[in-house]
Amino acid sequence: MKSMKLILMSLTLGSVFLFSGCGNGDGKGTGAIGSSGAAEKVYVAPGELDEYYQFFSGGFSGQVTVHGLPSGRLLKTIPVFATDGEKGYGFNEETKPMLMTTFGFVPWDDAHHPKLSQTNGEHDGNFLFINGNNTPRVARIDLTTFETTEIIQIPNTAGLHGSPYPTQNSEYLVAGTRFSVPIPQEDVSIDTYKENFKGTFTFISGGQEPGKMDIAFQILVPGYDYDLATSGKGPSHGWTFFTSYNVEQENTLKEKYASQYDKDYIAAVNWKKAEEYIAQGKFKEWPAEYYHNFYNDKTHTATATKKSGVKVLIPAECPGLVYYLPTPKSPHGVDVNPTGELIVGSGKLSADLTVHSFAKMLAAIEAESFDQEIDGIPVLNFEAIVAGTVASGGLGPLHTEFDGRGNAYTSFFISSEIVKWSTETFEVLDRIPSYYSIGHLSIPGGGSMKPWENGKYMISMNKITKDRYLPTGPELAHSAQLYDISGDKMELLLDFPTMGEPHYAQGILASKIIDRQVKFFPLEENEHTYKTLNEKDTRVERDGNEVHIYATMIRSHFAPDNIEGVKVGDKVYFHVTNLEQDWDVPHGLAIMGAQNAELLIMPGQTETLLWEPLTPGIFPFYCSDFCSALHQEMQGYVRVSPADSDVKLSWKLGDEGSGN
């Protein structure tokens, strides 16, 4: 067995080298300006709109980027788990609470899997969810504003990779722990892994209810590495599947020691059963602390709420809750086809794909075809549940999506290609290279029950770009490739660089999103504590060493724009309301020496920048968004006097103003 692994390893490494060595040239010009009219297919004329929104995770950028398809044009970067100076996200007083955790303010994360909310197994265009891998969190992005509006921290979890994978009606978002750790956390020797380390699966409720995300329950499972997840649909609705590796339960040199067993497990969780056990009170109340952060679009302010306690289900005490499906070679992705019957496990060290049958799984459970039981979790007999194997001819399968026409598309990292196969015959139908080392792939709607337009496009996300673009020093862009999959043969249409490291992306027909766009925030609905709705109400107030500036902005001035009486040692709060009521007229606020960022305030919105001047003098501030013909004139001054000065607080705009 060991020698088998070694051969495989050397093979995989060899092919990586092989590929980087001679892969150049392949696919250059294929498609993009080929005879098939690829250029025409991706050309979106000036002034025309794309057909799809495609949401890419930013990976280590911690953000989400929004592109249009088929053009690949970048439309927006949405800050999620990382601070963003451009938008003041995590810098202004309103959004700082979004990044609060029990570890304190955590201004960075590793964003992995953007997943659209679902209704009846179809993407409804309401929300986008994404997980933060490093400091376990799940975020909600509201698709009316394209802003992050909610983040919930996941307790008893370390490394949140297998998430958020919503259920058919977004009843739950799910989360599996990538790193097993002592649960609850304790100070033990790392070598006591097998004895003390555990894993959890978390079910998060409130997917369709803004502000209501909560930890519904957690399931305590053996201490493996839980990798990816997917929730069932149609017949398999009510079940969620999590892949695992390191069934070996090793805690060092995992690359080798965690690759020893021939099979690891896909955990099948019956969450409807879990709901029954919860209703029956068969859970344990465990101490756990976590934050729930919610941004309110009326107060334009986020609140961070610390919560404690979770309901935990133990499989040994809850028969029928979790089953293990043996799956070869450290499976990475697990994907369920649109009919809900096939569960595709991608053994990442394998050449083959293992496809389990949901119907066979139920029959095996019924017949109790169990090979063994681990901590009360029955391990189903492999032969009893497998529907077929795809002899792919590739190496290193990772992820599979579906076109809704009976075809599956699997990404192969090591052999750097996409293989198309039939979900009826399990035969390979076509294969096409990716440039290079593809991770995830995405068919708009391909993870749901209804791929859009019967699977017209497919996107690959690639880790290595080497010679694909103009070089930019040691760090090169990651890339996405767009394929036309409407015909029998896959066809490469377009190749574009992406932001950060997109792990996954999901696409939705633009028409599902366009009509719900918020263009500006009505001033009469502004409920911000420090709002100023009229220039007449602008003022400056002192409260001890806090100075509160109630300011407004329109094209092309701030009110007030001359402020005196601020002293060194003061905490100066600029509460600025953008009085515009027009689409696409944000204004910015930038202050010389501010140690945080700018404010970028949308029409009708109020935001607050804290500024702590360190030296006396005159400090200009200005609008940082070229808003109007007299944008350059949109500026003002603050006079900062020594701490012991007796300069009175005063402010003005033109002839208007006062002091006290």
Q: How far is the CB of 177 from other proteins (least distance, A)?
A: 46
Q: How far is the CB of 211 from other proteins (least distance, A)?
A: 24
**C-alpha closest to that of 75 among 64, 63, 66:** 66
Look at residue 587 and give the partner it binds from other proteins, Cu ion, none, a contact being a CB closer than 5 to 8 Å depending on partner kind.
Cu ion
Whose tokens are 């090979």? That residue is 371
Q: How far is the CB of 582 from other proteins (least distance, A)?
A: 4
Q: According to CB under 8 A, which one of 227, 580, 607, 625 is a site residue for other proteins?
A: 580
Site for Cu ion, rule CB under 5 A: 587, 623, 627, 634
According to DSSP, the residues that pair with 357 across neighbouring strands are 342
Q: Tell me, what amino acid is at 130? A: I
Cβ closest to other proteins, residue 580 vs residue 625: 580
Q: How far is the CB of 631 from Cu ion (least distance, A)?
A: 5
Residues in Cβ contact with 491 at an 8 Å cutoff, skipping those fewer than 6 apart: 31, 36, 38, 432, 483, 484, 485
Look at residue 519 and give the partner it binds from other proteins, Cu ion, none, a contact being a CB closer than 5 to 8 Å depending on partner kind.
other proteins
Are the C-beta atoms of 342 and 409 separated by less than 8 Å?
Answer: no
Look at residue 522 and give the partner it binds from Cu ion, other proteins, none, a contact being a CB closer than 5 to 8 Å depending on partner kind.
other proteins
**C-alpha closest to that of 164 among 111, 108, 200, 235:** 111
Look at residue 228 and give the partner it binds from other proteins, Cu ion, none, a contact being a CB closer than 5 to 8 Å depending on partner kind.
none
Cβ closest to other proteins, residue 207 vs residue 560: 560
Look at residue 520 and give the partner it binds from Cu ion, other proteins, none, a contact being a CB closer than 5 to 8 Å depending on partner kind.
other proteins
Q: How far is the CB of 559 from Cu ion (least distance, A)?
A: 12
| Distance, CA of 481 to CA of 435 (rounded, Å) | 8
- Of 77-85, 115-123, 383-391, 520-528: span binding other proteins (CB under 8 A): 520-528
**C-alpha closest to that of 99 among 275, 294, 258:** 294
Cβ closest to Cu ion, residue 628 vs residue 650: 628
| Distance, CA of 63 to CA of 42 (rounded, Å) | 26
Are the C-beta atoms of 311 and 278 separated by less than 8 Å?
Answer: yes
Q: How far is the CB of 652 from other proteins (least distance, A)?
A: 16
Chain positions 184 to 243 lying near other proteins, rule: CB under 8 A, are: none
Cβ closest to other proteins, residue 109 vs residue 625: 625
Q: How far is the CB of 60 from Cu ion (least distance, A)?
A: 33
DSSP letters, 345-395, are EEETT-SEEEEEEHHHHHHHHHTT-EEEEETTEEEE-HHHHEEEEEE-S-S
What letters, b where the CB count within 10 A reaches 16 and e where it falls short, cover 371-384? eeebeebbbbbbeb
Cβ closest to other proteins, residue 305 vs residue 534: 534
Per-residue binding string, other proteins, 421-440, x by CB under 8 A, is: --------------------
Q: How far is the CB of 251 from other proteins (least distance, A)?
A: 59
Look at residue 198 and give the partner it binds from Cu ion, other proteins, none, a contact being a CB closer than 5 to 8 Å depending on partner kind.
none
Look at residue 627 and give the partner it binds from other proteins, Cu ion, none, a contact being a CB closer than 5 to 8 Å depending on partner kind.
Cu ion
Whose tokens are 């080798």? That residue is 256
Whose tokens are 């250059």? That residue is 28
Look at residue 634 and give the partner it binds from Cu ion, other proteins, none, a contact being a CB closer than 5 to 8 Å depending on partner kind.
Cu ion
- Of 9-17, 405-413, 476-484, 514-522: span binding other proteins (CB under 8 A): 514-522
| Distance, CA of 133 to CA of 321 (rounded, Å) | 26
Cβ closest to Cu ion, residue 181 vs residue 623: 623
**C-alpha closest to that of 379 among 470, 264, 457, 299:** 264
- Of 72-80, 179-187, 395-403, 573-581: span binding other proteins (CB under 8 A): 573-581
| Distance, CA of 500 to CA of 507 (rounded, Å) | 18
Cβ closest to Cu ion, residue 216 vs residue 623: 623
Residues in Cβ contact with 514 at an 8 Å cutoff, skipping those fewer than 6 apart: 49
Q: According to CB under 8 A, which one of 349, 579, 589, 638 is a site residue for other proteins?
A: 579
Cβ closest to Cu ion, residue 17 vs residue 626: 626
- Of 170-178, 577-585, 587-595, 615-623: span binding other proteins (CB under 8 A): 577-585
Q: According to CB under 8 A, which one of 520, 542, 645, 647 is a site residue for other proteins?
A: 520
Q: How far is the CB of 523 from other proteins (least distance, A)?
A: 7
| Distance, CA of 164 to CA of 224 (rounded, Å) | 19
| Distance, CA of 1 to CA of 417 (rounded, Å) | 27
Whose tokens are 């609705």? That residue is 237
| Distance, CA of 442 to CA of 237 (rounded, Å) | 21
Grouping H, G, I as helix, E, B as strand and the rest as coil, residue 41 is helix
Grouping H, G, I as helix, E, B as strand and the rest as coil, residue 53 is strand
Look at residue 468 and give the partner it binds from Cu ion, other proteins, none, a contact being a CB closer than 5 to 8 Å depending on partner kind.
none
Look at residue 195 and give the partner it binds from Cu ion, other proteins, none, a contact being a CB closer than 5 to 8 Å depending on partner kind.
none
Are the C-beta atoms of 232 and 240 separated by less than 8 Å?
Answer: yes
Q: According to CB under 8 A, which one of 519, 618, 620, 648 is a site residue for other proteins?
A: 519
What letters, b where the CB count within 10 A reaches 16 and e where it falls short, cover 560-596? bbebbbbbbebebbbbbbbbbeeeebbbbbbbeebeb
Residue 527: both structure tokens together: 């409920």
| Distance, CA of 73 to CA of 332 (rounded, Å) | 30
The number of residues that bind other proteins (CB under 8 A) is: 16
Residue 522 is a binding residue for other proteins (CB under 8 A): yes
| Distance, CA of 390 to CA of 106 (rounded, Å) | 43
Chain positions 593 to 612 lying near other proteins, rule: CB under 8 A, are: 603-604
| Whole-angstrom Cα Rg for the chain | 27
Chain positions 621 to 650 lying near other proteins, rule: CB under 8 A, are: 629-630, 633
Look at residue 523 and give the partner it binds from other proteins, Cu ion, none, a contact being a CB closer than 5 to 8 Å depending on partner kind.
other proteins
Chain positions 538 to 567 lying near other proteins, rule: CB under 8 A, are: 554-556
Look at residue 196 and give the partner it binds from other proteins, Cu ion, none, a contact being a CB closer than 5 to 8 Å depending on partner kind.
none
Given the rule CB under 8 A, which residues bind other proteins? 519-520, 522-523, 554-556, 579-582, 603-604, 629-630, 633
